[in-house]
Structure 1
Amino acid sequence: MEDCLFCKIVSGDVESDILYEDEQVIAFQDIKPQAPVHLLIVPKKHISTLLDLKEEDNNLVGHIYQVANKLAQQMEIAKDGFRVVSNCKEAGGQTVFHIHYHLLGGRNLQWPPG
Structure 2
Amino acid sequence: MADYMGTDFYCDIAIPRRRDLVVAHEDDSVLAFEHTRPFWQIHVVVVPKQHVSSLLELEPGDLATNLLLVVQAVAADIVGRAGSASVATNLGDYQDSKHLHFHVHAGPQLR
CA RMSD of aligned residues (A): 2.5
Q: CA deviation at 1:29?
A: 1.2
| Aligned match of 2:104 | 103
Hey, what does 1:112 align to over in structure 2? none
Larger % of strand: which?
Answer: 2
Gaps of 5+ in 2: 1-5
**Residues 1-114 of structure 1 correspond to what in structure 2 (within 5 A)?**
4-8=8-12, 9-55=14-60, 58-75=61-78, 77-78=79-80, 80-90=83-93, 93-106=94-107
Separation of aligned partners in 1, 2:77 and 2:58: 28
Runs of 5+ consecutive residues of structure 1 not aligned to the other structure: 110-114
User: Per-residue displacement from partner, 1:67-96 (whole Å, max 9, x unpaired)?
Assistant: 123223434x24722111110111xx2100
Q: Normalising to structure 2: TM-score of the pair? A: 0.74
| TM-score of the superposed pair, with normalisation by structure 1 | 0.73
**Partner of 1:67: helix, strand, or coil?**
helix
Assess if the C-alpha contact under 8 Å between 2:84 and 2:106 holds in 1.
Answer: yes
Work out the number of aligned pairs and report it. 102
For residue 98 of structure 1, report the CA deviation from its aligned partner: 0.5
